[in-house]
Structure 1
Amino acid sequence: MSAHNHQLHSKLTIGGLLITLGIIYGDIGTSPLYVMKAIIGLHHIINPDIILGGLSCIFWTLTLQTTLKYVIITLSADNHGEGGIFALYALVKRTKIKWLIVPAIVGGSALLADGIITPPISVSSAVEGIRTFYPSINTVPIVIAILVILFTIQQFGTKLVGKFFAPMMLVWFSMLGILGIIQIGGNLSVFRAINPYYAYELLRIHPDGFYVLGFVFLCTTGAEALYSDMGHCGRKNIRISWIFVKATLVLNYFGQGAYLIKHQGDTLFRLGGKNANPFYLVMESWFQPIGIVIATMAAVIASQALISGSFTLINEAMRLSFWPKVKIKYPTDLKGQLYIPSINWILLLG
């Protein structure tokens, strides 16, 4: 079964590309929901140089960190078709260098931390859109309800949800690209941001100085998932689908940038109140409710990707004796599908 399954995904197929969209790109795909908002801040005056600098940092982070480091280099290192930081460690362990255990454990912990922060950040950024129409609504209970449901259905396996993921993510990325193109149409000069000079300028002029890099880095969270889910999706499918994903992400960021440059001298707060988010501001008002629903679904899928990633990670960690032996369940007959109750509830609690 497993050999057949592995063959299935290592070939390049339309189905494989779609599955890859659904499983892998949730986290990195939902970052346009919060990155630009974080870089600009609610009350800073919108300054074209800061926007271009932010876009430049995002573009080069996606190019160097995600494309070069993960998609091109790291995907070439697999342990019997499996990826992930502990698979990498298993490969390096043969060299008998003792201290390498430290970066492996730090990396694994960082991924688990990602599994705790991404679900609430993405889901709440998406649901926050509701406040555009109903400013008085308290979105916290909605976010908590979505998260509780998400973690509760884990025990039934993700086969059901998986079928629904791929088309949903295709809709999401297409929406990102189209929204971006509509905005860029009016302002092609936003492509100047590809010049890395603006990235350097940003650090010089941004009111938060060097800390702004922390916001920029949000655009690549989830890149590790590209590698850790290699066993599910196969290297070729990941590499080819990344071309489409990266294009739509860049278009969306640049579209948000073009919109903001049109409103230079204003602040986000003045453009849309205390929940202003450039991601929603670029939409026509009739489309916003649809956008909010699609964004919320994409955020749930992003969270799912990290939860599955955390299970895989702990499973690898147990094999290497980095983690105490805990109960693992296999809810479906799908290769690589597992469910670890203890981790599930720890993540939910976190």
Structure 2
Amino acid sequence: MNAKTRQRVTAAGLLVTLGIVYGDIGTSPLYTMKTIVEDNGGLASVSRDLIFGAISLIFWTIMLLTTIKYVVIALKADNRGEGGIFALYTLVRKRKRWLIVPALIGGAALLADGTLTPAVTVTTAVEGLKGMHFGSIIPISAQSEVVIVTMVVLLALFSIQRFGSEWIGKSFGPAMFVWFSFLGVIGILNIAGNIEILQALNPYYAIHVLFSPDNKVGIFILGSVFLATTGAEALYSDLGHVGRFNIYNTWPFVFLTLTLNYLGQGAWIINNRTATIANLNPFFEIVPAPIRFPAIILATVAAIIASQALISGSFTLVAEAMRLKILPRFKVLYPTQHRGQLYMPSINWIIAAVTLSIVAFFQTSAHMEAAYGLAITVTMLMTTILLYQYLRMQNVKRVFAIGLVGFFGTLETLFFIASLVKFIHGGYVTVIIAGVILLVMFIWHHGKYLRESEDYSVEYASLYAYKDQLNKLAEDNNYDVYAQNLIFLVNVKNNTDIKKEIMYSILDKRPKRADIYWFVSVNVTDYPDTAEYSYEKFGEHVMLININLGFRRNQSINIYLRQIVNDLMKNKIVHKQPQKYTTIPNRQVGDFMFILIHEELSPESELKWFDKWVIQSRFWLERVSSSQKTWYGLDYSDVVDETVPLQLGFRKHIKLRPIEREDNISENEIK
């Protein structure tokens, strides 16, 4: 969906928005009230005031965090139409260098949350089938069977990712429209049974319940209430898929149906506090018995859609982090014609392994819910920090910006404190996952910083200084032609300076004669859809190409370079290379050979042990993640790999003193 399409509001666009953006927050009614009731001792232990307070807390949490902070404020902080914590970071990163810290922490926590959400939503939906009779048969009677069915559903979902899941995507919108409509209608039916539940919209009950003796967990009730708004960050992250105005026009409908459903659950709980129900889930209890089975199927479909959206969102998040050089390179595929539908095989199966392990470890949705939400509170806090910098960048008055961000920061800090109790109930799992992701991000980012700041061995050479040698070598018949087009991927400084090791590769190892030497620099811009190039010519046989790509563009250099070469030949910037032997009639472009230069840490490096560990860990990550060849789309190209030592830190070399003849004689006499 391009920028102009995202700005238009159509019925189709609204349906797509319902399917893509609201999967996480839309499935929260499956477990939020269930968790609150369980935390307070079960159905028989809850009071009217507790339920009023819980519903009020849910309503005002969604109103303040999701509606005000994200829909009203954060959606305006878009990077050329793209949203999410990394897009926000790209907007503000030039203001303060330390802003990389909240970006890394928030991104790691959001990715960790993406592994738990599919597990908890699908498990909760499948548990609705537990104990249901189909005639004399009970297909799912034990929790172990719930776990098996959940794992099969999730495994199937991860397995189809390589096809792009386009056929699922087409049903997202209509299915979620039915889901939200169902939430609202079922809520209204139960509100009619206890109309006084509408009083819960009064914020008095939200404040009162925090200090009420009826609330057995005190402020920690906020940890369960927060489950109702965990999808707010995902809403912001999906901005680029649907556009701000589609979210503006669908959120009122979504908010209304969610509110009605929570009110309906509250009304049912108040009316049925004396009931004895095994495996209680208020969401399924408010559904009339004749349609409960279809409701469970619909809930399962909604859970799958929510999981699919989070998996796809994780791919997008990782891809953006890679292009911002926050994460290593992983292979990226585009299974369909839609650029937004990317697939990352290694990331897909890492998430699958972690998600399935979570299901196997926790076993029940109750245990997962006890651990759920801690990571996302951290992400929201980090987004708030970045949002303050954005507001100041937009010339919002300091007092107003501090007041606004201070309010949301305080609110999110309360939710974070309340969620800390989840650490001992399984929250440590998401903390460990987030910690591992954060460690990888730190190694990759800090390793790059160390390499650039401590590299004493790298010398840069101007192409102007070597253009004469290169042009002469290209025409020197004393050397065989190494390749007609010899390509080096380079980092350019001062417009024309490249690493001297590249010149060493061409001139000193064994002169590599080529018809044209191409020095290609790939620059990732802060804009998502950039696709442009510029060139500079250094004689007949030397070209410097600068390719500018948006952070969401894949970097298939082989394809881009062939287009550039054809453009330059067409415009007579470079000469044609007619081929005598070829399967392509009238072929005017010769062969391409790419030289990829890899670095290994030199034994001569003088670094602190920690910095050395970071650098070596970064090299290891380079080896286990996608290679340069794969990342730049060169798997089927002619590629030569060369290795050079990387010397970091300054080591003072001992200068040897030649032994004088007299000294040598004296030593021999002593012996």
Q: Assess same fold via TM > 0.5.
A: yes
**Is residue 131–residue 141 contact of structure 2 (8 Å, CA) maintained in 1?**
no
Query: Residue 301 in 1 paired to residue 300 in 2?
Result: no
Report the CA distance shift for 1:132/1:176 in structure 2 as closer, same or farther (over 3 A). farther
Detail structure 1 runs of 4+ shifted over 6 Å in the superposition.
none
1:132 shift after superposition: 4.0
Structure 2 equivalent of residue 256 of structure 1: 265
Task: Work out the CA distance in 1 between the residues paired with 2:171 and 2:188.
Answer: 26
Return 197-206 or 305-314, whichever deviates more: 197-206
Structure 2 equivalent of residue 57 of structure 1: 57
Task: Work out the CA distance in 1 between the residues paired with 2:14 and 2:299.
Answer: 21
**Is residue 39–residue 212 contact of structure 1 (8 Å, CA) maintained in 2?**
yes
Query: Residue 345 in 1 paired to residue 349 in 2?
Result: yes
Structure 2 equivalent of residue 107 of structure 1: 106
Query: Residue 272 in 1 paired to residue 277 in 2?
Result: yes
Q: The residue matched to 2:338 in structure 1 has which SS?
A: coil
Structure 2 equivalent of residue 177 of structure 1: 184
Structure 2 equivalent of residue 27 of structure 1: 24
Structure 1 equivalent of residue 193 of structure 2: 186
* Paired letter, 1:235: R
1:10-59 superposed Cα distances (whole Å, 9 cap, x missing partner)? 21111000000001101100000000000111733121111111101100
1:188-238 superposed Cα distances (whole Å, 9 cap, x missing partner)? 211111111211222223112222111110101111121111111011001
1:121 shift after superposition: 0.5
* Paired letter, 1:83: G
Structure 1 equivalent of residue 289 of structure 2: 285
Task: Work out the CA distance in 2 between the residues paired with 1:61 and 1:105.
Answer: 26
**Is residue 46–residue 263 contact of structure 1 (8 Å, CA) maintained in 2?**
no
1:281-300 superposed Cα distances (whole Å, 9 cap, x missing partner)? 11111111011000000000
Task: Work out the CA distance in 1 between the residues paired with 2:344 and 2:61.
Answer: 33
Return 211-220 or 6-15, whichever deviates more: 6-15
* Paired letter, 1:60: W
Task: Work out the CA distance in 1 between the residues paired with 2:186 and 2:287.
Answer: 7
Q: The residue matched to 1:287 in structure 2 has which SS?
A: helix
Task: Work out the CA distance in 2 between the residues paired with 1:37 and 1:19.
Answer: 29
Structure 2 equivalent of residue 16 of structure 1: 13
1:89-139 superposed Cα distances (whole Å, 9 cap, x missing partner)? 0000121x0111111111111211221111010001111011141462321
Q: The residue matched to 2:127 in structure 1 has which SS?
A: helix
Structure 2 equivalent of residue 123 of structure 1: 122
TM-score, reference length from structure 2: 0.50
* Paired letter, 2:195: L
Q: The residue matched to 2:109 in structure 1 has which SS?
A: helix
Query: Residue 323 in 1 paired to residue 322 in 2?
Result: no
**Is residue 52–residue 190 contact of structure 1 (8 Å, CA) maintained in 2?**
yes
Report the CA distance shift for 1:156/1:236 in structure 2 as closer, same or farther (over 3 A). same
Task: Work out the CA distance in 1 between the residues paired with 2:335 and 2:300.
Answer: 26
Structure 1 equivalent of residue 248 of structure 2: 239
Task: Work out the CA distance in 2 between the residues paired with 1:164 and 1:21.
Answer: 11
* Paired letter, 1:140: V
Task: Work out the CA distance in 2 between the residues paired with 1:132 and 1:71.
Answer: 40
Structure 2 equivalent of residue 200 of structure 1: 207
Report the CA distance shift for 1:283/1:132 in structure 2 as closer, same or farther (over 3 A). farther
1:299-340 superposed Cα distances (whole Å, 9 cap, x missing partner)? 000001111111111111011111011111111111322111
**Is residue 22–residue 166 contact of structure 1 (8 Å, CA) maintained in 2?**
yes
Q: Which of 6, 13, 16 is 2:3 aligned to?
A: 6
Task: Work out the CA distance in 2 between the residues paired with 1:203 and 1:316.
Answer: 40
Aligned-residue CA RMSD in angstroms?
Answer: 1.3
**Is residue 114–residue 306 contact of structure 1 (8 Å, CA) maintained in 2?**
no
Unmatched tracts of structure 1, length 5 or more: none
Report the CA distance shift for 1:349/1:108 in structure 2 as closer, same or farther (over 3 A). same
Q: Which of 331, 338, 358 is 1:334 aligned to?
A: 338
Report the CA distance shift for 1:271/1:282 in structure 2 as closer, same or farther (over 3 A). farther
Percent identity for Structure 1 against Structure 2: 53
* Paired letter, 1:225: A
* Paired letter, 1:201: H
Q: The residue matched to 2:339 in structure 1 has which SS?
A: coil
Task: Work out the CA distance in 1 between the residues paired with 2:166 and 2:331.
Answer: 20
* Paired letter, 2:114: G
**Is residue 311–residue 338 contact of structure 1 (8 Å, CA) maintained in 2?**
yes
Task: Work out the CA distance in 1 between the residues paired with 2:211 and 2:123.
Answer: 31
Task: Work out the CA distance in 1 between the residues paired with 2:113 and 2:231.
Answer: 8
Task: Work out the CA distance in 1 between the residues paired with 2:233 and 2:115.
Answer: 15
Structure 2 equivalent of residue 146 of structure 1: 153
**Is residue 38–residue 215 contact of structure 1 (8 Å, CA) maintained in 2?**
yes
Structure 1 equivalent of residue 363 of structure 2: none
- The structure in which a higher percent of residues are helix is 1
Task: Work out the CA distance in 2 between the residues paired with 1:103 and 1:201.
Answer: 33
Task: Work out the CA distance in 1 between the residues paired with 2:89 and 2:9.
Answer: 27
1:129-167 superposed Cα distances (whole Å, 9 cap, x missing partner)? 111414623211000000000111111113211111111
- Which of 1 and 2 has higher RCO (CA within 8 Å, sep 6+)? 1
* Paired letter, 1:31: S
Q: The residue matched to 1:94 in structure 2 has which SS?
A: coil
* Paired letter, 2:104: I
1:6 shift after superposition: 2.6
- The structure in which a higher percent of residues are strand is 2
**Is residue 272–residue 281 contact of structure 1 (8 Å, CA) maintained in 2?**
no
* Paired letter, 1:195: N
Q: The residue matched to 1:331 in structure 2 has which SS?
A: coil
Unmatched tracts of structure 2, length 5 or more: 133-137, 355-671
**Is residue 176–residue 251 contact of structure 1 (8 Å, CA) maintained in 2?**
yes
